Chains A and B, each alone.
Chain A
């Protein structure tokens, strides 16, 4: 069957790279605390499953909350900017400048303001998602054609109707493109925020495992964080597949 083959290709790719990893570790006799072989990482994943899961929960909550908060604010801001040229001229450059601040530099500032709480971590994850979605949504709202706007004018459509019937559905592919990016960045935001100050989460686990030379656990924590982003990515891709059936002809 064609469909099953479809899935075998990337699996084959991953398997071949795992084999290469294993072969390098074994043939060069790399010491386990420098880089463990894949089999011991899988073992570590299983042995530390409760530790990993209990640390995954707060990270997932931060990443998901940040994902929803950041993307919602981005869509609202894009909606405001598309309707007010003045506000856009005033505040879009601010958003661009704000975006140039490295998130790792912003984290201590937010922790000073909001304390070592989940709030500061959610905000960091939200900020990191915000900008790509904002830019994409503005482009999406503007991707309507001249004749589509003329059609709405002949129909005497109000600005609200033009937005709801034309701009919003038009922008959906752009939204999903942005959400795919946000899936990975929100997890990055959550982990980075955990490095600055907290006692639980995958980010904390990564730092502790490194300091303790528990390299297998470090790798297991990395795989866990990647699995979180991958699960979010898969959900977004599935939603996009279900919701967007149309194509531009």
Chain B
């Protein structure tokens, strides 16, 4: 029996009106993600990768096609708290301490679980490596630490799907590398399905189990590269040679697409 896809996107398109012009963010996008998979969306600015992520999270409506999360409408999955979102900007509430920020999703709506929330928040703060900073306010933390808090906050509802929109895009490369490592560790421990948007080739090659390459004019999927080696035990066994091969392939795909757009 075939396993039901966690995320099932068929022929999806999003367009909107701006100054009387119809702007197509992307169209004809089909994508499937199985449970526990790490999917990376990569592409140049304007390819609609962030918009696609927002469509999955029910942050915006779709003009054509369909999105299903666990076979339901995205709004259903959102209300059932099966989806969490990590923004590029950590979006911590500056008047709340680290612990209070992490337990915010429980305070909103799930107040019955509030008793366990503090203990759970503490565990997650440990998981993202911020033990001892529970009482700190966001302005006392570095950019990388703030993003760790926002990841802990996303995990507190124990989501089945974690959507990440260039979460490390504003960080320096050293911090970004370290957080990529930790994200893989967290992914292995929680077995959450992750859809991760980036415009960094090396980040995509390092993280992705499936790498979905998107192109512009109009936004669409150019190619999907599946790296199934990771699948059996969710372990990273990627050598330097593999890493190089994947980045080269990604670069070639993007170049080819860019060339074909220019020729058109």
Given contacts A154-B84, A156-B79, A246-B137, contact A161 B91 (CB under 8 A): no
- Of A57-65, A142-150, A229-237, the segment with at least 4 beta carbons within 8 Å of chain B is A142-150
A157 to B54 alpha-carbon distance, docked (Å): 17
* Interchain nearest-CB distance for A170 vs B (Å): 8
CB of B93 within 8 A of CB of A161, answer no
Selected contact of B109 from candidates A161, A166, A245, A246, CB within 8 Å: A161
- A residues within 8 A CB of B91? 145, 147-148, 150-151
A150 to B54 alpha-carbon distance, docked (Å): 10
CB of A154 within 8 A of CB of B85, answer yes
User: Which residue of chain A has its CB nearest to the CB of B94?
Assistant: A246
A245 to B57 alpha-carbon distance, docked (Å): 33
Given contacts A150-B87, A152-B108, A157-B108, contact A247 B94 (CB under 8 A): yes
CB of B93 within 8 A of CB of A169, answer yes
Residue A83 interfacial (CB < 8 Å): no
Residue A155 interfacial (CB < 8 Å): yes
CB of B108 within 8 A of CB of A161, answer yes
CB of B93 within 8 A of CB of A166, answer yes
Residue A248 interfacial (CB < 8 Å): yes
Selected contact of A165 from candidates B54, B59, B89, B108, CB within 8 Å: B108
* Interchain nearest-CB distance for A2 vs B (Å): 22
CB of A150 within 8 A of CB of B85, answer yes
Interface range, B side? 20 to 34
* Interface residues contributed by chain A, number (CB under 8 Å): 23
Interface set, chain B 206-245, CB cutoff 8 A to A:
none
Residue B107 interfacial (CB < 8 Å): yes
Residue B81 interfacial (CB < 8 Å): yes
A172 to B146 alpha-carbon distance, docked (Å): 22
Selected contact of B85 from candidates A151, A166, A172, CB within 8 Å: A151
A244 to B85 alpha-carbon distance, docked (Å): 28
A107 to B146 alpha-carbon distance, docked (Å): 53
A150 to B85 alpha-carbon distance, docked (Å): 9
CB of B139 within 8 A of CB of A248, answer yes
Q: Most chain-B Cβ atoms within 10 A of its Cβ — which of A148, A154, A156, A157?
A: A154
A75 to B229 alpha-carbon distance, docked (Å): 59
Residue A4 interfacial (CB < 8 Å): no
CB of B109 within 8 A of CB of A155, answer yes
Residue A50 interfacial (CB < 8 Å): no
A contacts, CB < 8 Å to B: 145, 147-148, 150-158, 161, 165-166, 169, 172, 244-249
Q: List 23 A-B contacts (CB under 8 A).
A: A148-B93, A150-B85, A151-B87, A153-B58, A154-B83, A155-B104, A155-B105, A156-B78, A156-B81, A157-B109, A158-B109, A165-B93, A165-B107, A169-B95, A244-B95, A245-B137, A246-B137, A246-B138, A247-B94, A247-B137, A248-B94, A248-B139, A249-B146
